[in-house]
């Protein structure tokens, strides 16, 4: 067992869409122990837009996974020198004592109760987002020109419009990462990442009083923004900066750690994925590059954090405005640097949907159990067999007449239109397992084509992306990663632990907090980048390998992908005109 007298450890807590995970990490970045606990999500059977969770459930899960890590590793709590959190960009609502407030529409809305998180994927605030997007406010300039209904201000406005005003006035609102540091320390300091990326806090000028008045949220300004935690002109914490005095006595007992353990200012989960991947060296054909990456090199590396959805994050020394892409955000992670964030609202969720709704899915599951093999591997075996049987040069030939557009849950980037919907062209009267395998491959290709659409949009606006650094569950899918490389014509670097990169980023925040002392912003960029380089294990590079024929097919597929967007937009207008 590790000797705590000889080693310092850091804990990262990652709150994803369906689980909370903890990793106990050494100073070198080695994961000593890890544990995961599922979390609850409530849906409204009458409204598919609604997704709700509970901070009580999530915090209890955090305690379980931290204690499990300590128990399995034998590390004493006193050896844990810092703690960092990341979470989905979901809206958590409590009263001013931190007691959860219900966000479910109905008679209990605004009263104390468990269901107090509007999940990121929740799309109830469409009308509120439309109002915000009609204002022409400067806040829109920093979200690609269009605010997503997945962000926090539309959701807060929805609560204002549906809640008893007396109850609304008692609420405080957190982006979920900031709630976790509040729960840990009882200090309500907010992170630059959450405020600028999801809460309409404008770089350099802060809160926009006229904007809040214009959309009907003047209460926030009248109370000097107490409900959102940062007064006008007050300091916002940059990634990893210590929050308050560290773990409170109560939180320390709940998490099984020592009181006063430093807590780093939190990040949204995708940004923690950037933190845990982009400083990696990489192996190409088994040979490790001897080049130590600089922070300047990070501007050429796109972090793609792929789980239920996928986020695409790239850094630049100056702010770059990109239509349909969130940002530019100043200082969300590295002091003095700007970031843009693209995204696909549904990727892992899309793959699951296509599989589980096909008539052959039960047969696929049965075969997987019989062979004790992952169902994605079964599908890939089927595709490889079909290619060999038909003597085809490429799998792309199997789906040459099957075209999918992937926005079943709306488009986040670069169209920024939640009303976009998915489509499949080339359906056959075939419900076989072979047909399911073809649909699976078409889905992977659609995700890759949309990734290229986002990368092209970023580069056309002024970014200089030359590689993609993956994290999340989809990085385990070898066929999808090769499609990314071939479709985007650039290498893809896969982390040593694809599922652990995000929580590793959170642990880095804990280390920074432990070592920061009272230096604040001074030297933050250099110190945090050094920690990233030291703690990020080498990744493996997947290089583009498309043949000339495959390149020609992929170019045709991409042209059709873009045409599909134009067709859907035109059809929707024609139907709207017909109803007017």
> 249 and 309 share a domain?
no
- Domain assignment present for 237: yes
For residue 385, what are its two tokens? 């067999």
> 341 and 242 share a domain?
no
- Domain assignment present for 266: no
Last residue in a domain, options 235, 255, 275:
255
- Counting residues of the chain whose pLDDT is more than 90, the rounded percentage is 92
Report the candidate in 572, 551, 408, 560 with the shortest Cα–Cα distance to residue 487.
551
For residue 354, what are its two tokens? 């296509």
> 380 and 244 share a domain?
no
Report the candidate in 151, 186, 156, 152 with the shortest Cα–Cα distance to residue 171.
156
- Domain assignment present for 169: yes
User: CB of 392 within 8 A of CB of 384?
Assistant: no
Per-residue pLDDT of the chain (580 residues; tens, 9 = 90+): 445 446 899 999 999 999 999 999 999 999 999 999 999 999 999 899 999 999 999 999 999 999 999 999 999 999 999 999 999 999 999 999 999 999 999 999 999 999 999 999 999 999 999 999 999 999 999 999 999 999 999 999 999 999 999 999 999 999 999 999 999 999 999 999 999 999 999 998 999 999 999 999 999 999 999 999 998 888 899 999 999 999 999 999 999 999 999 999 999 999 999 999 999 999 888 888 888 999 999 999 999 999 889 999 999 999 999 999 999 999 999 999 999 999 998 999 999 999 999 999 999 999 999 999 999 999 999 999 999 999 999 999 999 999 999 999 999 999 999 999 999 999 999 999 999 999 999 999 999 999 999 999 999 999 999 999 999 889 999 999 999 999 999 999 999 998 899 999 999 999 999 998 666 677 899 999 999 999 999 999 999 999 999 999 999 999 999 999 999 999 999 999 999 8
> 118 and 227 share a domain?
yes
Q: In what order do the strands lie in the sheet with 492-494?
A: 287-288, 282-284, 539-542, 492-494, 467-471, 301-306, 310-316, 338-344, 326-330
> 316 and 248 share a domain?
no
For residue 504, what are its two tokens? 């590793």
Q: What CATH number has the domain bearing residue 572?
A: 3.30.420.40
Q: Which domain holds residue 77?
A: 9-255
CA distances to 16, 36, 151, 265, 504 from 88, rounded to whole Å, are 6, 16, 11, 15, 15
For residue 228, what are its two tokens? 């959102």
- Domain assignment present for 110: yes
User: CB of 267 within 8 A of CB of 338?
Assistant: no
> 223 and 302 share a domain?
no
For residue 273, what are its two tokens? 């994925």
> 304 and 214 share a domain?
no
Degrees to nearest 5, angle at CA 459 with 456 and 463 = 155
- Domain assignment present for 511: no
> 379 and 247 share a domain?
no
- Give kind and range of the element (H or E) at residue 221: helix 218-222
User: CB of 264 within 8 A of CB of 189?
Assistant: no
Name the H helices within 241-282: 249-255, 269-275
Q: 434-445 burial by CB neighbour count: b if 16+ within 10 A, else e?
A: bbbbbbbbbbbb
Last residue in a domain, options 200, 225, 255:
255
- For the stretch 16-35, pLDDT in tens is 999 999 999 999 999 999 99
Rounded CA separation 364/387 (Å):
19
Which parts of 54-152 are beta strand (E)? Answer: 80-87, 91-95, 117-118
- For the stretch 235-276, pLDDT in tens is 899 999 999 999 999 999 999 999 999 999 999 999 999 999
Q: Could you give the number of structural domains in the chain? A: 2
> 119 and 246 share a domain?
yes
- Domain assignment present for 372: yes
Name the H helices within 244-360: 249-255, 269-275, 348-356
> 34 and 166 share a domain?
yes
Report the candidate in 7, 23, 3 with the shortest Cα–Cα distance to residue 86.
23
> 51 and 144 share a domain?
yes
Rounded CA separation 443/525 (Å):
39
User: CB of 532 within 8 A of CB of 524?
Assistant: no
> 167 and 226 share a domain?
yes
Last residue in a domain, options 200, 229, 255:
255
- For the stretch 104-126, pLDDT in tens is 999 999 999 999 999 999 999 99
Report the candidate in 515, 557, 552, 517 with the shortest Cα–Cα distance to residue 535.
515
Rounded CA separation 552/400 (Å):
12
- Domain assignment present for 556: yes
pTM over 0.75: yes
Dihedral-angle region of residue 519 (phi above 0 means left; psi in -120 to 50 means alpha; beta otherwise): alpha
- Domain assignment present for 440: yes
């Amino acid at each position: 067992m590790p000797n705590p007298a000889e080693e310092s450890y850091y804990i990262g807590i990652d709150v994803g869409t369906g689980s909370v995970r903890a990793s106990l990490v050494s100073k070198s970045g080695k994961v000593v122990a890890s544990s995961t606990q599922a979390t609850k999500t409530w849906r409204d059977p009458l409204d598919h837009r609604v997704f709700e969770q509970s901070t009580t459930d999530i915090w209890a899960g955090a305690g379980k996974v931290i204690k499990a890590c300590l128990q399995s590793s034998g590390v004493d709590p006193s050896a844990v020198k810092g703690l960092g959190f990341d979470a989905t960009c979901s809206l958590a609502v409590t009263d001013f004592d931190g007691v959860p407030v219900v966000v479910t529409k109905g008679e209990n809305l605004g009263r104390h109760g468990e269901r107090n998180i509007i999940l990121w994927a929740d799309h109830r605030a469409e009308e509120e987002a439309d109002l915000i997007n009609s204002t022409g406010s400067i806040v829109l300039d920093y979200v690609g020109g269009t605010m997503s209904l997945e962000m926090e201000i539309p959701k807060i406005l929805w609560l204002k419009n549906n809640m008893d005003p007396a109850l609304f006035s008692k609420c405080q609102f957190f982006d979920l990462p900031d709630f976790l540091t509040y729960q840990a320390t009882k200090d309500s300091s907010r992170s630059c990442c959450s405020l600028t990326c999801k809460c309409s806090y404008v770089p350099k000028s802060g809160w926009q009083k006229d904007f809040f008045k214009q959309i009907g949220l003047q209460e926030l300004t009248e109370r000097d923004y107490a409900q959102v935690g940062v007064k006008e002109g007050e300091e916002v914490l940059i990634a990893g900066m210590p929050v308050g005095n560290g773990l409170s006595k109560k939180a320390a007992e709940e998490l099984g750690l020592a009181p006063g353990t430093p807590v780093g200012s939190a990040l949204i989960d995708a940004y923690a994925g950037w933190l845990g991947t982009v400083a990696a060296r990489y192996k190409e054909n088994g040979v490790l590059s001897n080049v130590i990456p600089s922070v300047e090199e990070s501007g050429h590396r796109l972090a793609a954090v792929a789980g239920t959805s996928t986020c695409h994050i790239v850094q630049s020394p100056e702010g770059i405005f990109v239509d349909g892409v969130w940002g530019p955000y100043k200082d969300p992670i590295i002091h003095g640097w700007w970031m843009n964030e693209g995204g696909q609202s549904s990727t892992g969720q899309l793959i699951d949907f296509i599989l589980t709704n096909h008539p052959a899915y039960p047969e696929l599951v049965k075969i997987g159990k019989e062979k004790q093999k992952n169902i994605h591997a079964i599908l890939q075996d089927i595709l490889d067999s079909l290619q060999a049987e038909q003597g085809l040069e490429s799998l792309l030939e199997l789906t040459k007449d099957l075209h999918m557009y992937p926005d079943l849950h709306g488009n986040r980037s670069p169209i920024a239109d939640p009303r976009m919907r998915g489509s499949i062209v080339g359906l056959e009267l075939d419900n076989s397992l072979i047909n399911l395998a073809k649909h699976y491959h078409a889905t992977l290709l659609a995700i890759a084509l949309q990734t290229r659409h986002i990368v092209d949009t970023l580069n056309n606006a002024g970014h200089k992306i030359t590689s993609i650094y993956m994290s999340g569950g989809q990085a385990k899918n070898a066929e999808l990663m090769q499609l990314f490389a071939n479709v985007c014509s650039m290498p893809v670097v896969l982390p040593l632990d694809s599922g652990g990169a995000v929580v590793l980023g959170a642990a880095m925040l804990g280390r920074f907090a432990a070592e920061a002392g009272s230096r604040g912003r001074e030297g933050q960029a250099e110190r945090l980048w050094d920690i990233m380089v030291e703690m990020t294990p080498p990744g493996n590079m997947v290089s583009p390998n498309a043949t000339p024929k495959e390149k020609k097919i992929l170019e045709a597929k991409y042209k059709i992908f873009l045409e599909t967007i134009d067709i859907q937009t035109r059809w929707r207008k024609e139907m709207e005109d017909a109803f007017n």
